Structure 1
Amino acid sequence: MTMHEDQLDVTTDTVATLVAEQFPQWSGREIRLLASTGTVNAIFRIGNDLSARFPLRPADAAEASAILEREARASAELARISRFPAPEPVALGKPGAGYPMPWSVQTWLSGTVASDADASGSNAFAEDLAAFISALREADTGGRLFDGDNRGGVLTRHDAWMATCFTQSEGLLDVPRLRRAWSHFRALPRRSPDVMSHGDLIPGNVLVAGDRLGGVLDTGGFGPADPALDLISAWHLLRPGPRETLRRALDCDELEWERGKAWAFEQAVGLVWYYVESNPTMSGLGRRTLDRILESTEY
C-alpha cells in the first residue's frame, strides 16, 4: 500500500538508469532501495558511500529543484556546525527515465536509526541530543527568520490542520481530550527569537550508536525557527528520566518546554490517522508520542 494517493513509483532500475545517464562516474555501482519509515522520499544506496533521495510526490519540477538546492545548502551548513555526523550534499539529479522530479545525492552515514535501536532510556543519549541542539541554537542565523508554513512558526496557524486531524481521528483517539489539549497549546505565547533548528528530530532521522547519539539525518530543513521546535525530540525519542535530563541540559523554562510539547503534539496527531494503514510505524510513533504528552499533564 502506498502512503500517498499521488505517490510516484521509483524502482532500482529507474535509479540505475538515471545514475548511468547523469552521473556515469557512479555507473555500475550497486543500487539498493532502503527500507524506511520515511514519508517524503524513497531512499536508495549508490554503492557503499552515497545515498540518493527521490521525492515520493509530484510537484512543479522547477520549484522542487529550487527546494533541493536550498536543502543542500542547509545540509552543508548543518554538517559544518554539528559535532555529530550528518550527511553532506554531493549532487543534484534531474528528471529522466520516466521519473518526473529532480532528486538529490548525499554522503551515506552508517548506523541504526532510533526507530530500530531504542535509546529512549539513556541519559547519555539525552545529553548528546542536548549538545546537538545547543550547537544549532548557538549558530548564527545571519539575520534569517522562519519563513515557512510548517512547524516552527506560529502555533495558531495550524488550527485548520488540527481541525482536520480531529475529524479524521474520530474512532482512533480520544478526540475531546485532544481538543482540550490543543486549546491549551495554541494559546501559549512566543517570547524568544528564532534560532537555528534541525526541525524534524523524530526517530527515523536520528542514528544511535550503543546508547549514544550516532548522527542525524534529513538535515535539509535546517534553518531558523522557534527555539522550542527541536524539543519535539523530548517526546518522540525519550522516556521521562532522560527527558528531564534533556530539559535540564538545555535549561528550558516552563513556557519553552510547553511549546516544545505543543509542536510534538501537532505532529503526532497527524501521524496517527494519516498513516494508520499505509505506514503503521509512523502511526505508532504518533500514538506513543501522544501517550507521553498526555501522561505528563492532565488536559
Structure 2
Amino acid sequence: MHAGEHPVGEDLVRRLIAGQFPQWAGRAVQRFPSGGTVNAMYRLGDDMVVRLPLVQGGAADVPLEQEWLPRLAPRLPAAIPEVLGAGQPAEGYPWPWSVHRWLAGENPEAGALSEPVLLARDLAAFVAAMRSVTLPGAPRAHRGGPLAALDEGTRAAIGELRGIPEEGVDCDSVTAVWEGALRAPAWDGPPVWLHADLMPGNLLVAGGRLTAVIDFGCAGTGDPACDLFPAWNLLPPGAREAFREALGVDDATWARGRGRTLSQALIALPYYRTTNPAMARNARHVIRAVLEEVRSDGGRGHGGR
C-alpha cells in the first residue's frame, strides 16, 4: 500500500515473540486479514494479537497507545485494546510493536447494519465519553487541528479524481461541499479528547451493537468535529440523525465534521483504489452519503437545522 513498507511475516513474529516474550513462544501465529493501512496484525494463540507498524509513520503511535490506553480504558463505555506486551526493535524489524489482548467482534459494514439506530446511540455514547475525559498532558490528535490545514491535500485529491473518470466522482459538487465546510465557524472551545479515526475497520460489533473500539494511534485532543466520521462512513440517514441528536451537534460542528470526513474519503480513494479495496469502497460510500445529504438539505449544508 505504501512506499517504504517494512516486510513482515509469521516467521518474523515468531522470532520476535520467542526473543522478547518467551512465555508465549510456541503459540500459533497467523496473519489476520485486515483493511488497516498502518499496521499488520497476527493472531497469537486464541486470546492475543501482535500488532506491528508497516511504515515508520506508524511507529510513533505505538508508545502513544501504550501510555494512554490503560488510562482511557476505565473511562469508556466500550472495550478498547489492552496492551499485554511492549515489543522492541529486533530481528531486523526497526520499530516498537505491541501484543494486545484479542477483542472479539466483527467490523460493521455500511448498508448492512442490523441495529443502525442503536449502534448510532452506542457510538454517540463512546464519543461523548471520550470528550468528557480530563486526563492532563494529552497529546494533540492527529486530525484535531483547523480544517483549513486539510485544504491543499483535499484539492489535490479532487484534481486526481478528475483524471480518473471511471470513479464517477462529481468533482464540482464535492468541491462546493468542501468550500462550504471551510466557511463554517472554527471550533472556539477548549480541545476535547478524540479517538480521531472512527472508521468502520476500527469498530467491533456483536448483535448489531458496539462492543469495542480499536486503533488509538490518532487519539488526542482537538476539534470535536473529528469524531463525527461515523455519521457518513457508516450510518444511514435516520441513524445519522440519531447520532447527531444524541451528541447535540451544532450546525458549524456538523459542517466541519462532514467536511473532514469528505476530505479523508477524497484523499483515500485515489491512493487506495488499487491497493486496499475496503478503504476505497468506504471512501466511495462517504462521497455518496455526503452528496446525498447536501442535496436533500437543499444546499443549506447544515443537516437541515
**TM-score > 0.5, shorter chain as reference:** yes
Task: In structure 1, list runs of 5 or more residues that go unmatched.
Answer: none
Render the CA deviation track for 1:182-216: whole Å, top value 9, x for unaligned. 11112222233211111111100001111211111
Runs of 4+ residues deviating >6 angstroms: none
- What residue in structure 2 maps to residue 40 of structure 1? 38
Distance 1:270 1:192 in 2: 28
- What residue in structure 1 maps to residue 226 of structure 2? 229
- What residue in structure 1 maps to residue 292 of structure 2? 295
- What residue in structure 2 maps to residue 187 of structure 1? 183
Taking structure 2 as the reference length, the TM-score comes to: 0.89
Q: Residues 67 and 202 of structure 1: is their aligned pair in 2 closer, same or farther, counting only changes over 3 Å? A: closer
Identity of aligned residues (%): 38
- What residue in structure 1 maps to residue 302 of structure 2? none
- What residue in structure 2 maps to residue 51 of structure 1? 49
Q: Which amino acid aligns with 2:152?
A: A
Q: Residues 115 and 31 of structure 1: is their aligned pair in 2 closer, same or farther, counting only changes over 3 Å? A: farther
How far does residue 116 in structure 1 lie from its aligned partner after superposition? 8.9
Q: Secondary structure at the match of 2:290?
A: helix
How far does residue 4 in structure 1 lie from its aligned partner after superposition? 1.1
Task: In structure 2, list runs of 5 or more residues that go unmatched.
Answer: 300-305
Match of 1:133 among 110, 123, 127: 127
Distance 1:256 1:67 in 2: 27
Alignment of 1:106-255 (within 5 A): 106-115=100-109, 118-119=112-113, 122-142=116-136, 144=138, 147=140, 150-170=142-162, 171=164, 172=167, 173-190=169-186, 191-255=188-252
Q: Which amino acid aligns with 2:149?
A: R
Q: Which amino acid aligns with 2:29?
A: I
Q: Residues 117 and 105 of structure 1: is their aligned pair in 2 closer, same or farther, counting only changes over 3 Å? A: farther
Distance 1:192 1:119 in 2: 34
Distance 1:203 1:67 in 2: 19
RMSD across aligned positions (CA): 2.0
Distance 1:88 1:221 in 2: 17
How far does residue 84 in structure 1 lie from its aligned partner after superposition? 1.1
- Residues 78 and 219 in structure 1, CA contact (< 8 A), matched pair in contact too: no
Taking structure 1 as the reference length, the TM-score comes to: 0.91
- Residues 120 and 239 in structure 1, CA contact (< 8 A), matched pair in contact too: no
Task: Note if 1:78 corresponds to 2:72.
Answer: yes
Q: Which amino acid aligns with 1:258?
A: A
